[in-house]
Structures are given as C-alpha cells and as structure tokens.
Amino acid sequence: MRNIIREIKKLIKSILGIEFYPKINYHCHKERFGSEYGGWDIADAFFNKDSIVYSFGVGEDASFDIALIEKYGLSIHAFDPTPKSIEWIMRQNFPPNFILHKYGIANLDGNVSFNPPENPDHVSHTILDRPETQSRAITVPVKRLSTIMRELGHNYIDVLKMDIEGAEYRVIEDMKQSNIRPKQILVEFHHRFPSVNVRCTKKAYATLKKMGYGLFSVSTKGKDSCFILK
C-alpha cells in the first residue's frame, strides 16, 4: 500500500511538472561506489588504474572518489572552488592520487559569482540566482571542460561526475558544441531550484540522447542520473 501511495505521488508531481522521473533505457552491469548520500553507480566493466575520472563538486563527501581509488588504483581529478569544501578536503588524509583542482566547471573560462546556501551549515554554492544570499556571494574561478582537458593533457574521459548545483545545464550544452563525449556521465539535476524547472532537465536529457547517451541508472527521486555512451 505504501508503494502504491508513493507511485501516485510521483505521478501527480510529474503531471504538475514539479518532478521528472525518467526511465532507464540502457541495461548493463553496474556497481555502486560511495556512501548513501555521496555515492554513484558506474558501469565498471572496463575500469583499470589508467581510467580517467573527473569529479566536479566534492562538497564534504568524497566517498565515491575514494572508493574508486581503493578498488582500481586510479587517479581522481577532483574539482571544487568552494572555500569550505577546500578546507575540508585539506583536513582529510586522502591518498596522493586524489588530485584537487581549486576551480569549478562552467561554459566559460573566467570568474563567476558563487551564491552560498541559506543554511550556513551547508556547503553547496551555486552560480544560479539565489537572491536571499546574493549579498554574501563570493567570486571563484571556473573553466570549460575543453580547457580543463587541454591543460591536463587528456583527450578522453572515462567518467565525468557533476554535482555542480545548477551549472550542469550549460555545461552539457557546451560539451555538445565542443564535441566532448565522456564514456560515462553522472549528473545531479537541480530542477528543484526556483530559477530552474523540469523543462530544463527534460531538455538536458534530450540533448544527451542526441549525443548518443543511454540512461543506465537513476535515483529514486529522479535527480541523480547516470548515462553511458552507447
């Protein structure tokens, strides 16, 4: 009975355009890495120590990154310009192949305003409008994915993870224009933000489909989505 009620609520939210619950359209072997809060599924069939992983948005949970390092011995390129996140990372005893880059990703190279969360105990900043905290905004450096790859000497990416608080929509469009196709894309969509809506997420899904991606995993709430290049 509880499951039925949950499905009815999901249907109502979908009809009202409040939420989006996509269906998996690509089936493959997958494995979850990391904590319940910060973990992600990956299609792990071809992973090894030379796999290239970009992890954008560390916050205060690097369990996904550390789990991959422990299993495969690979290097994680982690990116986060948030001062609180950087301070947290520096206090951890992470292995040397957890490589922190103190800038974020966007559809431009330069500096952007980063609006803090309302709750000072939280860590996630956003480049989206957040009028209630705009007076406390900070300026942080960001780079396009094509710029980052060129500077790091990479011509492919095995996994691109993005938990970047609303910047994902423009980054996906920039990837399309730059013809960058990571083998897997793990992304949290933020249509719950007032300045974003479900249409933006549906458009991003359609763009990724045109780019050749299939959805192989999605969280219960429909926000954490895992795509693979078919």
Angle between helices 145-152 and 168-178 (to 10 degrees): 60
Of 188, 194, 169, 199, give the one whose Cα is nearest residue 19: 199
- What order do you get walking across the sheet with 104-105 strand by strand? 104-105, 138-143, 110-114
Place of tokens 């409040």: 18
The token duo for 90 is 């520096």
Give average pLDDT by consecutive 10-residue segment, the chain, 230 residues: 53 55 92 94 91 97 97 97 95 97 97 87 82 86 98 98 94 97 96 82 96 95 90
Of 35, 41, 38, give the one whose Cα is nearest residue 57: 38
The DSSP call for residue 229 is: E
For the chain, list the domains and their CATH numbers: 24-107+143-229 (3.40.50.150)
Q: ∠ CA(184), CA(191), CA(99), 5° rounding? A: 40
Residues 6+ apart with CB under 8 A from 209: none
CB 101 within 8 A of CB 115: no
pLDDT of residue 16: 45
pLDDT of residue 195: 75
Residues linked to residue 54 through DSSP beta bridges, in sequence order: 77, 160
Report d(CA 81, CA 100) in Å as an integer.
10
pLDDT of residue 14: 52
CB 212 within 8 A of CB 184: no
Residues 6+ apart with CB under 8 A from 15: none
Q: Would you list the DSSP string of 173-207?
A: HHHHHHT---SEEEEE--TTSTT--HHHHHHHHHH
